[in-house]
Amino acid sequence: MAVDGFTIRVDGDEIGGWDAGDGPAALILHGGPGLSDYTEGLAAELAGLFRTIRYQQRGLPPTRVSGSATVEDHVADAVAVLDGLGIERAWVVGHSWGGHLAMHLAVAAPERLLGAIVIDPLGAVPDGGEAELGTNLTSRLTPETAVRVDEMDARLLEGQGTEADGAEMMRLVWPYYYARPESAPPMPPMRMNNDVYAETFASIRQHFERGTLVRGLPQSDLRLLFIHGRNSPIPWQRSQESADLARNAQLEVIDNCGHFPWLEQPGSIS
C-alpha cells in the first residue's frame, strides 16, 4: 500500500502526516498526549476499508505547531488536517487519548464526521479511568520501581519532567499494557513532548470538571463504535459508561486483549 506524506500549513505552523489507500476517509488519532505517532499498524489493518490519514499531533516532528496544547487546540488541528486535504467529512478512529479526542470531535465538530471508532479510550466520565490506568500499570512492578514510575509521572504532569523521564516511564510500564506482559512486543521507538503531555492533561481535567463530554455526547446522533480490550489497564467499563451517554453507540469487548487490539488480536478492528 502506497503511503504519501503530507504537510498542512496553518497560520505559519505545519502539521505533518501520512495518507494511504482509497475509500471513505478515516482520520486516525494516536494516543499520548504528547507521544510520537505509533498507529502505522492500525492504519494497515484498516487498509481496504478506508483511506487512512494519520498525522503527528502537536509537539513532535514532522509537525511544528507553536502555542498551547489544550483539548481545543487538538480539535482544531484535526479539523485543519481535514480542511487541508479537502475532506468535508470523515470517520475518526482514535486510540487511548486519541479515542478521548475523538469523542471531543464528535461533540465539537459533528458536522465534519461520518462517525467514530473509539479504541480503548480514556473515558468520557470523570476521571475516565486515569487513576485505574496508573494503578494497573504499576501493580505488578516491584515496589521500588512503582514508586519511581509514579514520581516520574507526577513530574511530567507538573511540567517538570524531562524527555528521558517520559521514555523511561514508558519503557517500564510498556509490557503491562498487554493481556500477557511476558509476550508483549518490543516498545517501538517513541518520543514524548513533556510540555504537551502536561498541558493537555490539565485541559482534559478541566473538561471533566465542566462535564463537556457528559453533557455533549447525549446530544450527538453520530454512530460511535467503542472497542475495548477486556484485559486493558483502562477497565472496559469506562468505555461502557461512555457509550451509554450517546444515542447511537455500541461497545465491543475483546477477550484476551489489552490496550492495543490491532497488535494483540489482529483483525479485531477491521
Instruction: Note down pLDDT in tens along the chain; length 270 residues.
Output: 677 899 999 888 999 999 999 999 999 999 999 999 999 999 999 998 999 999 999 999 999 988 899 999 999 999 999 999 999 999 999 999 999 999 999 999 999 999 999 999 999 999 999 999 999 999 988 889 889 989 988 888 888 888 888 888 889 999 999 999 998 999 988 899 999 999 999 999 999 999 999 999 999 999 999 999 999 999 999 999 999 999 999 999 999 999 999 999 999 988
What whole-number distance in Å separates Cα of residue 69 and Cα of residue 195? Answer: 8
b vs e for 247-267, b when ≥16 Cβ sit within 10 Å of the residue's Cβ? Answer: eebebebbeebbbbbbbbbee
- pLDDT score, position 68: 94
174 Cβ contact list (under 8 Å, min separation 6): 184, 187
**For residue 124, which of 268, 239, 251 has the smallest C-alpha distance?**
239
Domains of the chain listed by start with CATH number: 3-133+211-264 (3.40.50.1820)
C-alpha cell at 155: 513530574
- pLDDT score, position 219: 95
What whole-number distance in Å separates Cα of residue 63 and Cα of residue 39? Answer: 16
